[in-house]
Amino acid sequence: MARTLYGRKRVLVTGGAGFLGSHLIDRLLERGDEVLCVDNLFTGDKRNLDHLHDEPRFEFLRHDICFPLYVEVDEIYNLACPASPVHYQHDPVQTTKTSVLGAINMLGLAKRLNAKIFQASTSEVYGDPLIHPQTEGYWGNVNPVGIRSCYDEGKRCAETLFFDYHRQHDLKIKVVRIFNTYGPRMHPADGRVVSNFIMQALEGKPITIYGDGSQSRSFCYYEDLVDGFLRLMDNTPNNFTGPVNIGNPNEFTIKQLADLVLEITGSKSELINEPLPSDDPTQRCPDISVAKRELDWEPTVQLREGLEKTIEYFRNI
């Protein structure tokens, strides 16, 4: 183990310059850890880390985890991968490589160091679900050859690798399935529905709803999500590995989200409808019974409160 001179944990966060990674790093530093952030900046943004320039316990390394990494750390959070359709469909082969080769390289590092390793998986492993809400025992309804497959199947394969390393090498793993998350530091052009609606509303542009707006999602504020990450990673006594759904079980239609964004921003933007993209799920909502039982976790920030904070962030940028 790579304990520092002062007994602090040294934690590696891949994808640490991204929206969620940067917030996770803030929490790790707040509790006294040392953090090594690794990011190739394909979708990450170093501006998310500007406030850490003078932090002595923080280090940044530009690196692509599709290639091996040789560092000394105590724990690993593997968040590296484009996570919005616009980004992961831009280079689908690289997206799959990041999920699969990245997992192999990070698992190999964890095995060498005997370090606990966390995998940021996704609700996309459920595909366009045939059960609702989605439980961790559901195997999913995923198109293996569609335009979203690079992300969906890449993350599914990464989960397979994590559990095979756990069974074969007794590696300490933690796997989270992330549902829709939003908040400050989202990229304004990442193509996600929350950032799309907010930017269109603030700029007075038409708000684009794909399909008729009846498809549903659940929206989790980043603070709640990161709290779930830490609870899972620190939940060592019962050796709970996951996978565990982390998300907000309150369900909203896309039309309801658009109306709420218009109300909070005071925008006069009109709503327009466009064709629904291929393989876009009609329903997505987590069953969080396992998170409540194993982690004593459930979200506390409701959609209006979270949107108000997120809209204020976008106004300022």
- The 3-class secondary structure across 223-285, one letter per residue, is HHHHHHHHHHHHCCCCCCCCCEEECCCCEEEHHHHHHHHHHHHCCCCCEEEECCCCCCCCCCC
Query: Which of 199, 177, 198 is CA-nearest to residue 306?
Result: 198
Token pair recorded at residue 184 = 């400050």
State how far the Cα of 228 lies from the Cα of 208, in Å rounded to an integer. Answer: 31
pLDDT tens, position by position, 8-54: 899 999 999 999 999 999 999 999 999 999 999 999 999 999 999 99
Query: Which of 304, 292, 289 is CA-nearest to residue 133?
Result: 289
Decide if 307 is inside a domain.
no
Decide if 230 is inside a domain.
yes
Decide if 112 is inside a domain.
yes
Looking at the whole model, is its pTM more than 0.85? Answer: yes
Q: Which residues of the chain have pLDDT under 50?
A: 1, 5
State how far the Cα of 152 lies from the Cα of 60, in Å rounded to an integer. Answer: 28
- List C-alpha distances in Å: 212 to 86, 209, 256: 21, 7, 12
Alpha helices (H) along 172-234: 193-202, 222-234
Task: Identify the pLDDT of residue 2.
Answer: 54
Decide if 208 is inside a domain.
no
State how far the Cα of 75 lies from the Cα of 311, in Å rounded to an integer. Answer: 34
Look over the chain and give the mean of its residue pLDDT values, rounded to a whole number: 93
Task: Identify the pLDDT of residue 126.
Answer: 96
Task: Identify the pLDDT of residue 7.
Answer: 67
- Where in the sequence is the domain holding 102, given as residue range(s)? 10-182+220-247+286-299
Residues in the chain: 317
State how far the Cα of 79 lies from the Cα of 18, in Å rounded to an integer. Answer: 9
Decide if 261 is inside a domain.
no
Query: Which of 250, 249, 233 is CA-nearest to residue 295?
Result: 233
The CATH number of the domain where 141 resides is what?
Answer: 3.40.50.720
Task: Identify the pLDDT of residue 111.
Answer: 98
Task: Identify the pLDDT of residue 4.
Answer: 54
With beta carbons less than 8 A apart as the criterion, state whether 17 and 185 touch: no
User: How many domains does the chain divide into?
Assistant: 1
CB atoms under 10 Å from CB of 267, counted, come to 19
Decide if 265 is inside a domain.
no
Residues 6+ apart with CB under 8 A from 52: 25, 29, 58
Angle value at C-alpha 144, between 142 and 146, nearest 5 degrees: 95
pLDDT tens, position by position, 215-256: 889 999 999 999 999 999 998 667 899 999 999 999 999 999
With beta carbons less than 8 A apart as the criterion, state whether 7 and 23 touch: no
With beta carbons less than 8 A apart as the criterion, state whether 93 and 99 touch: no
Decide if 196 is inside a domain.
no
Beta strands in the chain (DSSP E): 10-14, 34-39, 58-62, 75-78, 116-122, 173-178, 181-182, 207-210, 216-218, 220-221, 244-246, 251-253, 271-274
Task: Identify the pLDDT of residue 31.
Answer: 96
Active site amino acids:
151
Decide if 271 is inside a domain.
no
